[in-house]
Amino acid sequence: MRDAYIVSAVRTPGCRRSKGALAQTSPEKLIVQALNGAIERAGIDKGVVDDLMLGCSFPEAEQGLNIGRVALQMAGFPDNVSGATVNRFCASGLESVAQSATRIMAGWSEVCMAGGVESMSIVPMGGNMPRPLASWAKENPDVYVSMGVTAENVANRYKITRAQQDEFAYHSQMKAAEAQKNGHFTEIIPTTADRFVEKADGTIVCETFVQTFDDGVRPTTMEGLAKLRTVFAALGSVTAGNSSQTTDGAAASVIMSGDAVKKYGVKPLAKLVCYTTAGCKADEMGVGPAYAIPKLLKLAGVKVEEVGLWELNEAFASQAIYSAQQIGIDDKKYWSYDSPDKKININGGAIALGHPLGCTGSKLLATLVANMQRLGVRYGVESMCIGGGMGAAALLELCE
């Protein structure tokens, strides 16, 4: 089987749902800019791309009509470039990378693209008209339960305290703020956004501006976090402060075979070594990485100690902490913002930067590759839990 190389990986800023900078920008416009940014960084012609896999958790309304194909047309790709929309909920963006890479590995394609998009401001979580099958919902309601409730279940069953969750959240915010200050988010492309403004005469006009940073990062203290009310259970421990932010964003990458890398004179950034998924109980879906990561490392023949960087998606602090415990990387030195040994979410995670659902897997890929390049780390892993009771994980290897 051939190798699949990541030759570029970019993302838009991640901005808060409804109140953030991208709230009035259509998802099509976001992913078009990510696709063009990835092509520009790769330095190749759009016509050499064979296919695009685009992750989206709720592919309907503005994100519907096979946005994976529509976005290519909007971005000016020629008609010969095909595209599809992929949905594995929170891992949709990573699933897109895996599917595109698999085509390269199998010899079916030489150049592919992958990506993810989600406008949680425009298309609500759950979609506009969710309709679970009533008979099945009565028999097994856990499949449809709120993600926040599953986070409470994880905290209760595995004794993850409120203090632990708040501390983890605090460090996520601090790491993100530090990364912004030091200019470490090199994977972000400046993104043109829209906002609709009412003028004095009552007319509404669309104005454009450029957004260059994640706008969910905010000053946080442990005392402030402790004052927040719980959201999903009156006597629970999950709050808005120790949960991921609902966010808008898009990301894209270019993936090539070794032959294509040589043909187009491109310098590869990282190699996708392995990808896998694993199932778990739906009512504790957050523990998915605790199953997917060991399975991934066993398949790849790589030990936990060999992994230098982890992007462990922070859907909720409770599930991220539990997953880290089960993998054996829960020592505070691995995730504390002021630790020289930190290797988990070193630029902060979804608690600070947001979780734009179908975009997240591609977004984390861009961040992980950028950090592996910056620090010279050989192996990096990204993983996330998935609604309905699953986990996904991918192993990347740095190219010399």
Q: Which residues are tagged catalytic? A: 90, 355, 385
β-pairing, 15-16 vs 247-256, is antiparallel
CA distance linking residue 308 with residue 7, whole number of Å: 20
Are the C-beta atoms of residues 250 and 33 closer than 8 Å to each other? yes
Q: Which of 348, 381, 8, 58 is nearest to 185 (CA)?
A: 348
CA distance linking residue 257 with residue 272, whole number of Å: 11
Are the C-beta atoms of residues 350 and 315 closer than 8 Å to each other? yes
* DSSP 8-class letter at 260: H
Are the C-beta atoms of residues 12 and 191 closer than 8 Å to each other? yes
Q: Which of 19, 207, 35 is nearest to 120 (CA)?
A: 19
* DSSP 8-class letter at 81: -
CA distance linking residue 337 with residue 345, whole number of Å: 9
Residue ranges of E strands in 46-203: 51-55, 82-86, 111-119, 191-198
What the block records as the tokens of 153 is 């279940």
